[in-house]
Amino acid sequence: MQTILIVLGVILATFFIFRFYAMAKIKNTPLVADHEKVVTLTEANFQQKTKGKVVLVDFWAAWCAPCRMMAPVLNDVASELNGNLHVGKVDIQQYQSLANQFKVRSIPTLILFKNGKEINRFVGIKSKEFLLKEMAKVG
């Protein structure tokens, strides 16, 4: 019985050490500058920038580590798009009304718009391949 408790204690201690390490690494993820093709969306330009196009909109915040992890992926997606497919970003701290309007409850939330209307929604970290495939379905 005592051996089982020792083994269980070691397993739990190892788990917490790895969790602490992972959380520290995620928090230190640097902010990445947006690709030139990524459109910054605001309350003033949202309708105009999403009308007549297919736009993948990232709802994010600077303090959100998973959002910072998604930035390079979105830059890669934007660099591969052409024609009527685009990537946009909404900073939910600056434009809370947009986040409320689209019922964004957790971030990162990626919403795929076609002609200004929501087509699909993805929450959490997604791969470049997944996003390109989803955009190709709509575009």
- Give the active site residues: 64, 67
Sorted by sequence, the CB contacts under 8 Å of residue 55 that are 6+ apart come out as 39, 49, 85, 86, 87, 88, 112, 113
**Three-state DSSP class for 23?**
helix
Q: Amino acid identity of 86?
A: H
**β-pair type (109-114, 85-91):** unpaired
Of 50, 51, 39, 46, the C-alpha closest to 98 is 46
Distance from CA of residue 61 to its chain's centroid?
9
Cα(22)–Cα(86) distance, integer angstroms: 32
